[in-house]
Structure formats: structure tokens, C-alpha cells
Structure 1
């Protein structure tokens, strides 16, 4: 439930019109200024909080023990997989509604949990 709640909040934010516009601008300006590095550092820092939560899940045996920072990056990529690129490339004009976000989150979390399932003993 916690991963789904996080995913819904993250995807709602990441697919908002302002966030999409900011992401487009960051990519366009990344080679001309240091803004790309600053944004990447901020994202890495935020993923550290997700990694800390995933570490607790790994320690509790809910997830298999692995690199929690990499697992956080995998979770982010899975959450973004269905909707971010079409928005960034103007393939779709409107942000997803809540139902579409929840559907994407359910699928992303399901794949993540299968990938990081604890080993059978």
C-alpha cells in the first residue's frame, strides 16, 4: 500500500502540466548550463529517501536484499514508463486522470514487487 501511495503521489506530480514543462526545459537546457546536474542531484537526493524506505522493507523481508538506491531508481523508471515520455514528446496533450495514474501505478508496483520479491527459502 505504501508503494502505491508513493507512486500515485509521484506520478500525479510528475505528470502535472507544470512538471512536464519543467522537465522539457531541463532537458533542453542541460547542455548549456549546470541545471541538469543540479536537477539530477536533487532527484538522487529524493530517491535516497525512497531507498531508505526500501531498505526497511528489505530488512523486514518484504523485499529481497539488494542495492536500495538502484531499487529506488527502478521503481521510478517503472512508474514513469507508461505516461512520461508521451507527455514530454507531445504525443499526448493531457495529463492522465486519476484512474489512469492508479492503473499505471498498480502495474508498476506489481512489476517492482515481482522483481524484488524475496527469495524462496
Structure 2
């Protein structure tokens, strides 16, 4: 029974992702999703309590899970520079994908119409950057990074990583950069960050 339930849940997510991409979240109703699924609204509510919860699941099923995994490379016991380089590459490689760009655009579009933008930020980006902020705080305590506001430092590192490609890619103005281009961007970002906050 569990396998069947998981399959049905994934079917809902897949259908919702397609509908949200075509019509936006606010332009898609639970009735439409049920019709596409070939079931009833009661079936949807057996799996999700709201459309917002379905969107959160769509978000999770996309490459956002891979983005979350990039934050795991921030190992407090490793060299700071090495950890930041690995994190930066994994992060950019994950975020510069069609799935993530699509989810990001949807969340921005819906931000003025509902709580979906806030829900997306609080359950996605904010958690990840809080993890980086905590990592920086720990490295400050160890004396590896200089005293600073860890959250501000995390946001500055995010800006350094994102400056060259992220906005252009989100607007479909460029194709995904090559591995060599991403590596060069990350190295420049880490070099700048370490000049600001490194204790070496």
C-alpha cells in the first residue's frame, strides 16, 4: 500500500508542477489539479492540506533538495577555504538549472498574491543561508574567521557567488555556464570573502 501511496503523491506533485508552470500557482485551482489527476479534490486533500503545501512539495521535489545538500559540505572540521569552494561550486551547479529557475520565478510571481513567496523563502533559501551563517559563527569561535556579523557575512558570500550568473540565468538571458566558468566564479568569490574575513 505504501508504494502505491507514494506513487499517487508523486503523481500529484508532477501534475501540479506542470499546471503551476503553465498557469501560475494562483491561476491553478484544486479542482483543476483533481481533474488533471483523474480523481477528486478529496483525493488531493488526503495527501496535502492546501495548494500552498502542494507547491512546497513541488519545490522540494525539484533541485532544491540538491541545493540543500550543497550546504552539507560546510564541515566545521575541514579547512574553511576548501569547504567554501566545495559549497560554492555545488550551490551554483544546483541553482543554475531549469527546475530551480522555474520554481524561483513562480515564487516571485506569486509573492504579491499570496503567502507562497514567504513560504518558499522560509522553507527553502532562509534555512540554507541560516546554515551558512551558523557555520561562519562556528569558524569565528574557532578563530578561523575574523569577528563579524555572521548573517551579514553569509549574505555577502551569497552575493559574491550569485553576482555573475544567477540573475541572468533566472531571466533566461544566458545558458548555464560551463564547469570551468562556475569554478572560476566560485574561486573569485571565496578569494574575496577570505580577504574580508579570513584570519590567515
**Fold conserved between structures, TM > 0.5:** yes
- Mapped to 1, the partners of 2:121 and 2:147 lie a distance apart of 25
Matched, 1:77 2:159: yes
Equivalent residue, structure 2, for 1:18: 99
Q: Deviations over 1:76-113 (max 9, x none)?
A: 11111110111112221x21221111111001111111
Q: Is the 8 A contact 1:17 1:95 kept in 2?
A: no
Q: What TM-score do you get using the length of structure 1 for normalisation?
A: 0.89
- Mapped to 2, the partners of 1:17 and 1:100 lie a distance apart of 18
- Mapped to 2, the partners of 1:35 and 1:70 lie a distance apart of 25
User: For structure 1, which runs of at least 5 residues remain unmatched after alignment?
Assistant: none
Q: Is the 8 A contact 1:11 1:101 kept in 2?
A: yes
Larger radius of gyration: 2
Give structure 1 regions of 4+ aligned residues with deviation exceeding 2 angstroms. none
Number of equivalences:
118
Aligned equivalent of 1:67, options 149, 152, 175:
149
Q: What TM-score do you get using the length of structure 2 for normalisation?
A: 0.55
Q: Is the 8 A contact 1:48 1:69 kept in 2?
A: yes
Cα-Cα RMSD: 1.5
